[in-house]
Structure 1
Amino acid sequence: MAENAQEERIYITYKTRMTTEARLRSNARLWHRLLSYYAFCMILYSLIELSGNYSTGNSQIIMAPLSVATFGLSLYISGERYQERADQFKNCYLRLQALYNNKGMSTDEKMARYAEILDLYENQSDDDYDEILFDIFLRRQKLSNAVGEVEIPKNLIFRVGGRRLARKGFAFLLFAVTCSPKLYQS
């Protein structure tokens, strides 16, 4: 960690930006896989129906939601620009990391440059900051700011743990809904 509270802000910010970049790239992979899965299912269902050998009997019930989901997710994902934003966060944290490690600048110079760098980039979410606090908590480290030691909220474990479970559960739910045996019953 940093030697003083002001420089610790740079450290926490660049670590948070690293977390944001990783989250955005993870989201991009998840949505890419889900869209690929939906497209594969649509192709598979279409081929099954066209063959005439096997019929689900519910092809319209299956294809309509898959088509709508694929269309809607495609619009949402392109609007979020996950990869582009992840690249920007990476550029930001690399600049902040270089600033933090620069031993030739005074703290005041570093803080002025820190403000300039932050003005150039999108801010990370509070959730990503919570992830960093959670990581510090797990490693039993101390965090301080200009006022003193930062108190890590007691409910942080539940907030961060709940979000992690919700993300994984949402992905599983989207996958499971399309695999439901009820879709295949006539």
Structure 2
Amino acid sequence: MSLSSCARTAFFGVGTLGAEHSNIWLTSRTRMEAERRLLLYGKISHLVISYYSIILIIFNVFSNFFEERYTYYYEINIALSVIILCGSLISHGFRFEKTAASHRDCYLKLQELFSSPLTGQEKDSRYSQILYGYPNHGTQDYNNMIVREILFFKKNLANSTGPILLSKYNIVSFFVWKALLVISVAAVFLIPVVLFGIAHLEFLNGV
């Protein structure tokens, strides 16, 4: 099999490739999944911080209006400031964009290695060297990759031990992770709205 046909086989199902090829391909796709996840987390964190910052600005610009209606105006003001500060520190500490860039650099090198004319042993050695220089992906990244490639893209995957089978655990884990992410983001955005709504109702009942 020629190198070009090998590459085509890899991107439409790696079941017929050797162990070295399969591992390189699987790891590169998993690193892509890790990059996608971290970039998503980065965007969400920026949106959340911006959202709470806007609320804090509105809260201070119309301070007279809110102070008359909300008993705990100053406490809410302090709480919003602390949330924004902690959120910014946490987001910066996780370094979502920087780690995502590392994963991108890694999978680009793996793709280059995959297409190279090196022998299997040379590729295996170079593969270990590449992985040593980059952070590892998460277990969920690998699980998400398996579900996407097999369930959505209908590919036949294999690693050095044999064919990779899609289990119920893989599918449930994928959709539970998606659901928890959506619920968490929705809760973060809806909590201020709900709290302000409750406080406004209490104000109306007290008038």
Q: TM-score over 0.5 for the alignment?
A: yes
1:35 aligned residue: 49
What is the Cα deviation at residue 63 of structure 1? 1.9
Equivalent residues of 1:10, 1:100 under 8 A apart: yes
Q: Which string of whole-angstrom CA distances, capped at 9 and with x for unpartnered residues, describes residues 26-71 of structure 1?
A: 1111100100110110010111114x59843242343233222112
Equivalent residues of 2:34, 2:141 under 8 A apart: yes
2:146 aligned residue: 133
Say yes or no: does 1:165 pair with 2:179.
Answer: yes
Q: Which string of whole-angstrom CA distances, capped at 9 and with x for unpartnered residues, describes residues 124-174 of structure 1?
A: 000000011101221232221222212222221111100011111101100
In 1, Cα distance between the equivalents of 2:199 and 2:87?
21
Aligned CA distance change for structure 1 residues 133 and 53 (closer, same or farther; 3 Å): closer
2:108 aligned residue: 94
In 2, Cα distance between the equivalents of 1:84 and 1:90?
10
2:35 aligned residue: 21
Equivalent position SS for 1:142: coil
Gaps of 5+ in 2: 1-9
Aligned CA distance change for structure 1 residues 67 and 137 (closer, same or farther; 3 Å): same
Equivalent residues of 1:49, 1:56 under 8 A apart: no
Say yes or no: does 1:66 pair with 2:74.
Answer: no
What is the Cα deviation at residue 22 of structure 1? 1.2
2:21 aligned residue: 7
Q: Between 130-139 and 108-117, report the one with greater CA deviation.
A: 130-139
Q: Between 72-81 and 133-142, report the one with greater CA deviation.
A: 133-142
Say yes or no: does 1:56 pair with 2:69.
Answer: yes
In 1, Cα distance between the equivalents of 2:58 and 2:66?
13
RMSD: 1.7
Percent sequence identity over matched residues? Answer: 25
1:46 aligned residue: 60
In 2, Cα distance between the equivalents of 1:53 and 1:80?
35
Equivalent residues of 1:7, 1:100 under 8 A apart: yes
Q: Which amino acid aligns with 1:126?
A: T
Q: Which string of whole-angstrom CA distances, capped at 9 and with x for unpartnered residues, describes residues 68-126 of structure 1?
A: 21122111111101111111111111101111121x11111111100000000000000
Equivalent position SS for 2:99: helix
2:120 aligned residue: 107
TM-score by length of structure 1 reads 0.92
In 2, Cα distance between the equivalents of 1:161 and 1:53?
41
In 1, Cα distance between the equivalents of 2:29 and 2:52?
35
In 2, Cα distance between the equivalents of 1:77 and 1:169?
19
Aligned CA distance change for structure 1 residues 10 and 72 (closer, same or farther; 3 Å): same
Equivalent position SS for 2:130: helix
Gaps of 5+ in 1: none
What is the Cα deviation at residue 4 of structure 1? 1.7
Runs of 4+ aligned structure 1 residues displaced above 3 Å come to 52-56
Q: Count matched residues.
A: 184
2:198 aligned residue: 182
